[in-house]
């Protein structure tokens, strides 16, 4: 075994990461995961190092609260044995490496394009020609949905294979939202540009992604932060969780045609995001997170205001939830719909809320705590049915949990820091990794710098990267009319996946 | 039934009585005002992450601005973002706010195509196309129809098919991979039809401007009927823009 053990939000010299022969690298990383549910791959990527490709694999160990890192160097022309043949959770990472560099895999089960990125190796492959799984039976039919969907929602293509009304198979094809985010991190040199880019990876997770970026940059630059910065980031992350979970509950009610729930949850989200605007001038908290300092100090007045908002929010939120879980018409749509088993979730490396719906306790707040999370001794809320109702209940309980954490934070405000902007220079030849727990789940940003401290690669992984496959598997054997509520109960990100 | 009535009673009235006169809470970054104060204008312009600030005279292009607020945070005497959320225009040039200007931005009525008010004043159905949008403006467009903002009161709604629509609302910087689906959606919408650009990313590409993964030909070759700045767009900015475009009395 040859690997480096580091903590979340730590950076190390690239040279200190052990470099293994590929076969050894493969064995080691797949062995890490086999029969150990507390470990999963948080990111696995390649970048050009001279004429060769350096692969870096990062395995999070939830039990020991650290990250195991190893690397290997291969050539573009290589034809490699795949990790995926031994452990399915690597499938998308290897598809991405194949798409970006043209590396061939001899035994990958499913080597399809991930997002038709601008810098892909084979530009003759175009998004309209995606190789869908085909059927020949005359008794089955296909249903194609998208890329443009019926609601106000991002684009993606869903191809169902159905037997009558029953879904046998769903293939989800993404890439329409690809804006070239990772490349822009390299070409936009100003820190503010990069911060705004991080906020725009997924605008519904502005806090999650911007915090991941800021923590990574601070760790690469070797600076430490005052308590008020950590306070604001932790607080903002929990407010974001409340806002989006509540909005999702509204959308789930819309999808089962429960108008009262849809309206009440919808309006309950408004004061929460309006609070963000009162704090930083933006309803989705863009501009709140900045690298190295806190541009909008959290004052006593804001604390009083937030207490007021939550005091008004909580009883109404509990009331509508208790009504929702008493209605036979909602339960009949929620229960045993879109079910995922524990073993399935584990095998494909699901993270976040989508993992917790069936007893897989993946939550960076407890496994790799950052900010002020160590003070909460956070325990993730778990469900054991893996259906739409589990995902509804997790949202309900996590909102309550977040309210409790916020009250705990508000009980002792930190001394407001002085917004102090410093020039930050990442250390040269360094590798850094940053994990945060957004409302969807684990967000991972990783970076490698060159001789001058300039970025060689900036790697972003939204939880949706793992979880889209979970949605595709969850809807099997369900009625196709249940697809919308299944989709909304996961609420995965298209732009976070496509980058 | 009784429980439902109780919930309704507890919720009370949630709608904003008049979205054209509502006040936004807190420190909203709306229409900026630029004072005559002497500052290092080159440094000010250089600060902007999307080159929205120009000099001589100092101006801010709201079609490029990501509303990050950094310029007003560091030059508070020079640049002040007011709480005025009425930012929508139908002339791209009117999005540029110059030093010393404190007048509200408004639509140029000469540029409004005649058929828009003739056909859509009582009812405007819109199809939304996200073309690389980051789901922030999309969330806000959804919020336009919620019980607080209730855009439906003006007969303006989002519909599920371009066949049912009178126009399209584009969000996002328009990626290469979405260029064709966007064109197909537009072609499927019956004439007369309008095009609305919602959000800085759609208007100029925003922080993504210049990315090789974009294809903005659709925006360049078509007539745009309404520009709605914001990052994301505020529901009141969107609603008021359409109310003004349609000439709905308020």
CATH number of the CATH domain containing A95? 3.30.460.80
DSSP category for residue A49: E
CATH at residue B179:
3.40.50.12280
Report if residue A352 sits inside a domain.
yes
- Examine the domain organization and report whether A90 and A194 are in the same domain: no
Decide if A158 contacts A144 (C-beta within 8 A): yes
Q: Residue A15's domain spans which residues?
A: 4-114
Distance (Å, whole) CA B141 – CA B154: 15
Over range B196-214, report the average pLDDT.
96
First to last CA, chain A: 34
Report if residue B100 sits inside a domain.
no
Average confidence score pLDDT of chain B:
94
Is A153 within 8 Å of chain B by CB? yes
Report if residue A139 sits inside a domain.
no
- Examine the domain organization and report whether A190 and A100 are in the same domain: no
- Examine the domain organization and report whether A250 and A381 are in the same domain: yes
pLDDT in the model for residue A498: 94
Over range B76-86, report the average pLDDT.
94
Report if residue A160 sits inside a domain.
no
Report if residue A149 sits inside a domain.
no
Report if residue B145 sits inside a domain.
yes
Report if residue A174 sits inside a domain.
no
Is A201 within 8 Å of chain B by CB? yes
Q: Which residues pair with A56 in a beta bridge?
A: A45, A71
Query: What chain B residue is nearest to A187 in terms of C-alpha separation?
Result: B211
Report if residue B177 sits inside a domain.
yes
Report if residue B125 sits inside a domain.
yes
Interface predicted TM-score of the whole assembly (ipTM), two decimals: 0.94
- Examine the domain organization and report whether A475 and A389 are in the same domain: yes
Best mutation site among A100, A126, A176, A198 for testing chain B: the one with the most B CBs within 10 Å?
Answer: A176
Is A118 within 8 Å of chain B by CB? yes
Which candidate, A389, A321, A332, A381, places its Cα nearest to that of A355?
A381
Distance (Å, whole) CA A241 – CA A254: 20
Estimate to the nearest angstrom the gap between the alpha carbon of A237 and the chain centroid. Answer: 13
Q: How many domains does chain B have?
A: 1
Report if residue B62 sits inside a domain.
no
DSSP codes joined into one string, A139-177: S-EEEEE-SS-SSS----EEEEEEETTEEEEEEEE--TT
Distance (Å, whole) CA B142 – CA B198: 12
Alpha-carbon distance B178 to nearest alpha carbon in chain A (angstroms): 5
- Examine the domain organization and report whether A452 and A328 are in the same domain: yes
What residues of chain A, 463 to 492, have a C-beta less than 8 Å from chain B? none
What residues of chain A, 365 to 424, have a C-beta less than 8 Å from chain B? 419
Surface-to-core class of residue A291, CB atoms within 10 Å of its CB (0-12 exposed, 13-18 middle, 19+ buried):
buried
CB contact under 8 A, B207 and A200: yes
CATH at residue A470:
1.10.645.10
Answer left, alpha or beta for residue A296, where phi above 0 means left and psi between -120 and 50 means alpha.
Answer: beta
CB contact under 8 A, B136 and A203: yes
CB atoms within 10 A of CB B74: 15
CB contact under 8 A, B49 and A180: no
Which residues in B lie closer than 8 A to residue A183 (C-beta atoms)? 211-213
CB contact under 8 A, B232 and A203: yes
Which residues in B lie closer than 8 A to residue A193 (C-beta atoms)? 49-50, 207
Residue carrying structure tokens 């299944």: A486
Domain boundary among the residues A93, A114, A135 is at A114
Q: Residue B164's domain spans which residues?
A: 109-246
Domain boundary among the residues A114, A134, A152 is at A114
- Examine the domain organization and report whether A42 and A187 are in the same domain: no
- Closest partner residue to A192 among B70, B140, B178, by Cβ? B70
- Closest partner residue to A295 among B29, B73, B212, by Cβ? B73
Report if residue B206 sits inside a domain.
yes
pLDDT at B67 over 70: yes
Distance (Å, whole) CA A28 – CA A24: 6
Q: How many domains does chain A have?
A: 2
- Examine the domain organization and report whether A345 and A449 are in the same domain: yes
Question: pLDDT grade, residue B1 (50/70/90)?
Answer: confident
Residues in chain B: 250
Report if residue B127 sits inside a domain.
yes
- Examine the domain organization and report whether A284 and A399 are in the same domain: yes
Report if residue B128 sits inside a domain.
yes
Report if residue A132 sits inside a domain.
no
Distance (Å, whole) CA A307 – CA A112: 49
Convert the pLDDT of each residue in B181-197 to its tens digit. 999 999 999 999 999 99
Decide if A325 contacts A388 (C-beta within 8 A): no
Residue carrying structure tokens 């806002």: A243
Domain boundary among the residues A61, A80, A114 is at A114
Surface-to-core class of residue B40, CB atoms within 10 Å of its CB (0-12 exposed, 13-18 middle, 19+ buried):
exposed
Question: pLDDT grade, residue B212 (50/70/90)?
Answer: very high
Per-residue pLDDT tens listing for chain A (499 residues): 799 999 999 999 999 999 999 999 999 999 999 878 999 999 999 999 989 999 999 999 999 999 999 999 999 888 999 999 999 999 999 999 999 999 999 999 989 999 999 999 999 999 999 999 988 888 999 999 989 998 899 999 999 999 999 999 999 999 999 999 999 999 999 999 999 999 999 999 999 999 999 999 999 998 888 899 999 999 999 999 999 999 999 999 999 999 999 999 999 999 999 999 999 999 999 999 999 888 898 999 999 999 999 999 999 999 999 999 999 999 999 999 999 999 999 999 999 999 999 999 999 999 999 999 999 999 999 999 999 999 999 999 999 999 999 999 999 999 877 766 667 889 999 999 999 999 999 999 999 999 999 999 999 999 999 999 999 999 999 999 999 999 999 999 999 999 9
Distance (Å, whole) CA B81 – CA B58: 15
pLDDT in the model for residue A419: 64
Which three-class secondary structure state does DSSP give residue A105? Answer: strand
Give B63's contacts (C-beta < 8 A, 6+ positions apart): B52, B92, B95, B96, B200, B203, B204, B227, B229
């Amino acid at each position: 075994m040859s690997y480096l053990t580091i903590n979340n939000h730590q950076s190390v010299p690239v040279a200190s990461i052990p470099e293994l022969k590929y076969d050894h690298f493969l064995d080691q990383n797949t062995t890490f995961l086999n029969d150990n549910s507390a470990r999963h791959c948080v990111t696995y990527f390649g970048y050009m190092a001279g004429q060769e490709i350096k692969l870096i694999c990062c395995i999070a160990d939830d039990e020991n609260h650290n990250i195991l890192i190893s690397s290997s160097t291969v050539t573009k022309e290589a034809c490699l044995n795949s990790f995926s043949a031994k452990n399915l959770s690597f499938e998308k990472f290897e598809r991405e490496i194949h798409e970006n560099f043209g590396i061939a895999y001899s035994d990958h089960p499913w080597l399809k394009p991930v997002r038709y990125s601008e810098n892909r190796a084979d530009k003759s492959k175009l998004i309209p020609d995606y190789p869908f799984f085909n059927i020949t039976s005359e008794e089955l039919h296909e249903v194609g949905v998208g890329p443009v969907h019926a609601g106000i929602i991002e684009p993606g293509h869903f191809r169902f294979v159905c037997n009558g009304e029953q879904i046998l198979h769903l293939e989800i094809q993404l890439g329409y939202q690809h804006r070239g985010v990772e490349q822009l991190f390299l070409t936009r040199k100003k820190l503010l540009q990069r911060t705004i880019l991080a906020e725009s990876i997924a605008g519904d997770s502005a806090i999650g992604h911007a915090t991941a970026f800021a923590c990574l940059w601070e760790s690469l630059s070797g600076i430490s932060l005052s308590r008020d910065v950590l306070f604001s980031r932790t607080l903002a992350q929990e407010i974001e969780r409340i806002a989006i979970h509540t909005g999702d509950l509204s959308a789930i009610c819309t999808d089962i045609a429960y108008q009262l729930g849809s309206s009440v949850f919808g309006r309950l989200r408004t004061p929460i995001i309006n609070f963000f605007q009162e704090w930083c001038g933006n309803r989705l908290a863009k501009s709140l997170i900045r690298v190295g300092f806190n541009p909008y100090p959290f004052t006593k007045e804001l604390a009083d205001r937030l207490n007021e908002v939550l005091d008004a929010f909580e009883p109404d939120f509990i009331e509508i939830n208790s009504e929702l879980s008493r209605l036979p018409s909602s339960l009949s749509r929620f229960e045993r719909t879109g079910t995922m088993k524990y073993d399935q979730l584990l095998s494909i490396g699901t993270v976040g809320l989508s993992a917790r719906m069936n007893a897989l306790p993946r939550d960076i707040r407890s496994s790799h705590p950052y900010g002020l999370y160590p003070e909460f001794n956070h325990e993730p809320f778990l469900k054991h049915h893996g259906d739409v109702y589990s995902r509804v209940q997790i949202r309900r309980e996590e909102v309550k949990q977040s309210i409790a954490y916020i009250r705990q934070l508000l009980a002792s405000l930190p001394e407001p820091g002085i917004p102090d902007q410093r020039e930050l220079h990442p250390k040269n030849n360094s590798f850094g990794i940053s994990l945060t727990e957004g409302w969807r789940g684990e967000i991972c940003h990783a970076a490698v710098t060159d001789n001058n401290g300039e970025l060689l690669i900036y790697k972003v992984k939204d939880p949706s990267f793992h979880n889209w496959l979970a949605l595709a598997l969850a809807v099997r054997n369900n009625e196709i009319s249940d697809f919308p509520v299944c989709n909304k109960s996961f609420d995965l990100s298209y732009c976070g996946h496509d980058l | 039934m009784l429980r439902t009535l109780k919930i309704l009673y507890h919720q009370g009235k949630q709608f904003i009585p008049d979205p054209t006169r509502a006040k936004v809470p807190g420190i909203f970054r709306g229409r900026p005002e630029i004072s005559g104060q002497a500052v290092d204008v080159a440094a000010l312009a250089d600060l902007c992450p999307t080159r929205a600030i120009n000099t001589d005279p100092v101006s801010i292009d709201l079609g490029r601005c990501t509303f990050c607020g950094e310029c007003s945070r560091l030059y508070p005497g020079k640049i002040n973002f007011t709480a005025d959320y009425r930012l929508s225009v139908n002339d791209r040039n009117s999005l540029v706010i110059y030093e010393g200007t404190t007048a509200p931005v408004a639509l140029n009525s000469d540029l409004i195509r005649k058929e828009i008010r003739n056909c859509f004043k009582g009812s405007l159905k819109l199809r939304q196309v996200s073309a690389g949008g980051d789901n922030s403006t999309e969330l806000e467009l959804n919020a336009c129809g919620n019980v607080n903002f209730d855009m439906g009161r003006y007969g303006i709604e989002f519909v599920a098919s371009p066949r049912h629509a009178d126009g399209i609302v584009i969000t996002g910087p328009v990626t290469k991979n979405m260029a064709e689906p966007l064109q197909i959606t537009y072609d499927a919408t019956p004439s007369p039809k309008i095009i609305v650009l919602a959000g800085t990313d759609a208007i100029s590409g925003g922080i993504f401007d210049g990315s090789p993964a974009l294809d903005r030909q659709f925006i360049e070759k078509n007539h745009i009927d309404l520009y709605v700045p914001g990052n994301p767009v505020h529901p009141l900015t969107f609603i008021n823009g359409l109310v003004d475009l349609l000439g709905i009395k308020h």
